[in-house]
Amino acid sequence: MTKARKTELRVPTADQIEQLLRSFSTAPTSVRNRALCGLLWRCGLRISEALALTMGDLDRARGRLVVRCGKGSKSRTVGLDAGAMALVDAWLAMRPAGGRVLFVTLAGKTVSASYCRSMLIRKGAKIGLPGLHPHALRHAFAAGLVREGHSMPTVQKSLGHSSLATTATYLASLGEDEAAEAVASRSWMLPV
């Protein structure tokens, strides 16, 4: 049984997320936060999954990221595109040496989920996206995959969902016009 959502989920567009990513400065914590937000969006990670990533979970050669601490203790492998990898590389160039966890404070401690949530609310408000939260970036990832023409099973697997019904709730943000355009753009003709 799915819980009813108390408030309508606002899923940011790709342009809005790019605006968010551009709003970070070149200070080390901003570079880290930009990389974290980039991974949430481009890999569809939950905040807990992103904060549990270790240095060994990055596979640059294959463009992949291993999520070892997924929901329900499930692991999965997700794609890591060049743009997201560039954000991570910028953070790694500034990241304090030592330790296994990817996203750490400048003192080498693990970044907390509550810090990330409040940081996104603050950053979102500054750029006109009130109430922005980490999970909205995950929803934007799912919607982006569908807009790019990827199948529902691909989206499901990327998100680490056991049920396609759960994945479908992530796509409720896709509008009626978008659905109509997608169907109208299909090509098919009966040979005469």
DSSP secondary structure of 62-76: TTEEEE-S-GGG--E
CB 35 within 8 A of CB 90: yes
How much is the pLDDT for 1?
Answer: 44
Distance from C-alpha of 181 to C-alpha of 178, rounded to nearest angstrom:
5
Proportion of the chain above pLDDT 90, given as a percent: 48
Q: Give the CA distances from residue 67 to residues 53, 54, 119, in Å, rounded to whole numbers and listed in that order.
A: 7, 9, 23
How much is the pLDDT for 22?
Answer: 95
User: Where is average pLDDT lowest: 72-76, 90-94, 127-131?
Assistant: 72-76
Q: How confident is the model at residue 188 (pLDDT cuts 50, 70, 90)?
A: low
Active-site option among 34, 95, 138, 139: 138
Catalytic: 71? yes
Tokens 């203790």 belong to which residue? 73
Active-site option among 34, 46, 95, 123: 46
Mean model confidence pLDDT for the chain: 82
Q: Which residue has the higher pLDDT, 112 or 12?
A: 112
Active-site option among 32, 123, 133, 161: 161
Catalytic: 170? yes
Q: Give the CA distances from residue 163 to residues 122, 150, 159, 167, in Å, rounded to whole numbers and listed in that order.
A: 33, 17, 10, 7
Q: How confident is the model at residue 172 (pLDDT cuts 50, 70, 90)?
A: low
Active-site option among 71, 100, 122, 150: 71
Catalytic: 46? yes
Q: Which residue has the higher pLDDT, 135 or 176?
A: 135
41-81 residue pLDDT tens:
998 898 999 999 999 999 988 988 888 765 656 778 888 89
> DSSP strand E in the chain: where?
58-59, 64-67, 76-79
12 pLDDT higher than 60: yes
Burial class (CB within 10 angstroms; exposed 0-12, middle 13-18, buried 19+) of 44: buried
Q: How confident is the model at residue 148 (pLDDT cuts 50, 70, 90)?
A: confident
Average pLDDT over residues 102-106: 95
Burial class (CB within 10 angstroms; exposed 0-12, middle 13-18, buried 19+) of 188: exposed
**74: phi then psi, degrees, rounded to nearest 5:** -90, 145
Proportion of the chain above pLDDT 70, given as a percent: 73
Average pLDDT over residues 90-115: 94
How much is the pLDDT for 17?
Answer: 93
